[in-house]
Amino acid sequence: MEQTFRWFGPDDVVRLPHIRQAGATGIVTALHHIPYGVVWSINEIEKRKRLIADAGLGLEWRVVESLPVHEAIKSGDGDLDPLFANYRQSLRNLAHCGITTVCYNFMPVLDWTRTELSAPLPGGASALRFNAHEYAAFDCFMLERTGAEREHTPEILARATAWFDASSESARSRLLANIMAGLPGAYERYDVPGLKAALARYHGIGKAELRQNFMRFLAAVIPTAEEVGINMCVHPDDPPRPLFGLPRIISNAEDIALILDAASSRSNGFTLCSGSLGAGADNDVPAIAGRFAERIHFAHLRNVAKESDGSFMEADHLGGDTDMVAVVTILLREQKRRLEEGRRDWRIPMRPDHGHELLDDVGKLTHPGYPMIGRLKGLAELRGVMMAVAALERLPL
């Protein structure tokens, strides 16, 4: 697999030389400064490519993460033809510049969601964490969403009430900031009234309606992606459950099958995120990887440790509940199949997703979940698994 690293651009605290030192050869990035729905011009794409190439480190921009889907497309609101046209033009421009793997998501309003960004680990390290009772406290007592109490168990509601009653204004503000932190590309952070307004735009939109809007998006863009040789790869929901009354439509194997069947083109693929899917109590990540291996165009490899109440913690890359050796083995076997098929793009780009805050990264202003050292550690561990599996099974790396 091609070893890549996410980079948030020239303002990222993590620098390109750091990424090269980690042993990665591919860069995963996006033009975050361009507003959603606006065309990514060839000039802007080439500017970012030159920035990476001019570092002289042998790094290449290999994956776009993300080419964002405008919120109006997700909600199905208004005349969407101009937005579809702009998205198609961005795909054409990316293909013109030689970038042919595009990761995106269809999560309404929020991206990945955690309630704690610095959950303590032994020795002073920290991890991202989702606490079910803090999420319920925010949902029921800060958002004051109608009917929210019915969506939480009595046990979680009791803990949520206790947390809220004991919390200070600063603790509540921190919880809001933590929930907003999963929007690294948008840089748009809501306050509580703003989040309420954003959620209101989805009033009356359930899972069926959101799925219908997604199918409309696929019908509008996949033919162009196929025409120009772009592999689109949708990212699973994180966490794979409804949030704040918003439906989620890419949370399990059934959801993925429906999406891939909606457009049988190879250009309609998905990103295997072992952590996002792994947070679902009923998701068997190796089984999902094996079932849909032919349509995996990109892999986020990370792990989570789940708890019975729906809480979970970001674990070590080779720890947690998902058998990472099994996942890597499936991906390497799929690479071999593609190579034997004669495909030039037989290698699957992967990146170590999220990482613990360790050592000198503690306290640095890195993007939440994306400290350098924790991801370097994860990549080294995953590289070891890849090399061992490849040697044992005589599989190409």
Residue type for 35, please?
Answer: P
Contact 355, 304 (CB under 8 A): no
Single out the residue of 319, 337, 313, 334 nearest to residue 385, CA to CA.
319
Cis upstream peptide for 17 (omega within 30°)? no
How far CA 280 is from CA of 121, 220, 257, 310, 361, in Å, comes to 23, 30, 16, 8, 29
Can you say whether the dihedral through the CA atoms of 42, 48, 51, 53 is positive or negative?
A: negative
Contact 104, 69 (CB under 8 A): yes
Judged by DSSP in three states, 274 sits in: helix
Burial of 325 (0-12, 13-18, 19+ CB in 10 A): middle
Question: How far is it, in rounded angstroms, from Cα 32 to Cα 353?
Answer: 19
Residue-by-residue DSSP string for 216-251 = HHHHHHHHHHHHHT-EEEEPPPSSSS-BTTB--SSS
Contact 109, 132 (CB under 8 A): no
Helix axes of 207-228 and 253-262: crossing angle, nearest 10 degrees: 50
Phi, psi of 345 (to 5 degrees): -100, 50
Question: How far is it, in rounded angstroms, from Cα 267 to Cα 100?
Answer: 10
Query: Which positions are catalytic?
Result: 235, 273, 300, 353-354, 370
